Amino acid sequence: MNSLQVWLAIAGGVVLAVVVAHGAWVARRKAPRQADPADGPTSPDHGEGAGRRTEPTLDGAAMAPLAVPAPERRPTLDALIDCLASIAVDGVVSGDAALAAMPATRRAGSKPTGIEGLNEVTGHWEFPVAGQRYRAFQAGVQLANRSGPLNEIEFSEFVVKAQAFADAVGGMPDFPNMLTEVARGRELDQFSGTHDAQLGFTLRARQTAWSAGYVHQQAARLGFVAGAIPGRLVLPGSVPGVPAILELGFDTRAALSDDPALSSIQQVTLSLDVPHVARIERPFVRLREAAQALASAMDGVVTDDNGQPLSTDTLDRIGADLEQLYDALEERDLAAGSPQARRLFS
């Protein structure tokens, strides 16, 4: 082999090495970011720590606990959002008999229905309980929800169900006027339609995609825990039993991947169902802070549904509009986070 051949062989080897190195570099750049194994769990915790509440940590400092009052215990049915029919009975009816007479389903069309009894001992309205005794009943159907207002067909279906229950317990129902209740439903639906808000921010990767474990780990640092659906994490409320403050979601297929480390996630969504979360929880502030903290930690950009970056001025305007929305809901006795608001906006 002469010197030219040797030189060409060396040059070829160098070029091959450069190509291989460049390919490896490109592959590393395109590979999704991985969670740090030494920095806590990267997948849903279904063990002892499941559902454990940690306050979001933003800018290196834990947020102070919120003095959120316990949920108000009120009867399920409420004349504010329900069409009610009283059912008078002679004497008392056992809870067992009432339960046996319950309709097979608790819906009339798209509207929830319910039946409550007046407990003979406590004097409280409640869903009948075996072993208790009741001296009166009331049946109700919701006047409106996100499916629309109560209509005549749904009202008629409600009447049939309530009448059947009354017959079974030896009661006499007193139904309100259908046209009046349908009109109430339309008015309530009009109010709710103009005072509903479901916010969603999209966090998009600037360059490198994320693995499912990486998303879990970064969200966990802010207090998010695994939800019931794969690819969903939630920021729990300050009081047990109330809806989550925020939800973080990403592609379910990535969450169910055989090898989550190889899943490639380009975007996640942060959402807030405004009427479902109490104002005192500062949900929009926490949505905004969580989005900005994740964007900073994960090298992402916060955008709207159309991919347009959200400016500080835009976020400020949204926050101001929400304050007016909260005021309007409270004036109607439908404060955000209340049982009535959660039922109406569902």
Residues 323-344: what's their mean pLDDT? 97
pLDDT for the residue 13? 54
pLDDT tens sequence across 229-280: 999 999 999 888 889 999 999 998 888 887 767 778 999 999 999 999 999 9
Q: Where are the domains of the chain?
A: 82-193, 196-344
Question: If pLDDT is split at 50, 70 and 90, which confidence band does 7 have?
Answer: low
Q: Can you tell me the distance from the alpha carbon of 92 to that of 171, in angstroms, rounded to the nearest whole number?
A: 10
Question: If pLDDT is split at 50, 70 and 90, which confidence band does 51 have?
Answer: very low
The residue with greater pLDDT, 329 or 29, is 329
The residue with greater pLDDT, 333 or 73, is 333
Residues 5-15: what's their mean pLDDT? 51
Task: List alpha helices for 72-177, DSSP H.
Answer: 95-100, 152-168
Using the predicted structure, report yes or no on whether residue 66 has a pLDDT greater than 70: no
pLDDT for the residue 262? 74
The CATH number of the domain covering residues in 82-193: 3.30.1400.10
pLDDT for the residue 263? 79
Sequential DSSP letters for 263-329: --B-EEEEEEEGGGS-GGG-HHHHHHHHHHHHHHHHTEEEE-TTSPBPPHHHHHHHHHHHHHHHHHH
pLDDT for the residue 2? 59
pLDDT for the residue 110? 97
Q: Can you tell me the distance from the alpha carbon of 318 to that of 291, in angstroms, rounded to the nearest whole number?
A: 15
pLDDT tens sequence across 293-317: 999 999 999 999 889 999 999 999 9
pLDDT for the residue 203? 97
pLDDT for the residue 240? 84
pLDDT for the residue 25? 42
For residue 322, what are its two tokens? 């929400």
Report the top-level CATH class of 196-344: alpha beta
pTM over the 0.85 mark: no
Using the predicted structure, report yes or no on whether residue 59 has a pLDDT greater than 80: no
pLDDT tens sequence across 28-50: 455 677 666 666 655 554 433 34
Task: List alpha helices for the chain, DSSP H.
Answer: 3-30, 95-100, 152-168, 178-194, 212-220, 252-255, 283-298, 312-331, 339-344
Q: Can you tell me the distance from the alpha carbon of 202 to that of 46, in angstroms, rounded to the nearest whole number?
A: 27
pLDDT for the residue 254? 84
pLDDT for the residue 257? 80
The mean of the pLDDT values for the chain is: 85
For residue 69, what are its two tokens? 């009052």
Using the predicted structure, report yes or no on whether residue 62 has a pLDDT greater than 60: no
The share of the chain scoring above pLDDT 70, in percent, equals 79
Task: Confirm whether 82-193 and 196-344 share one CATH topology.
Answer: yes
Q: Can you tell me the distance from the alpha carbon of 48 to that of 50, in angstroms, rounded to the nearest whole number?
A: 6
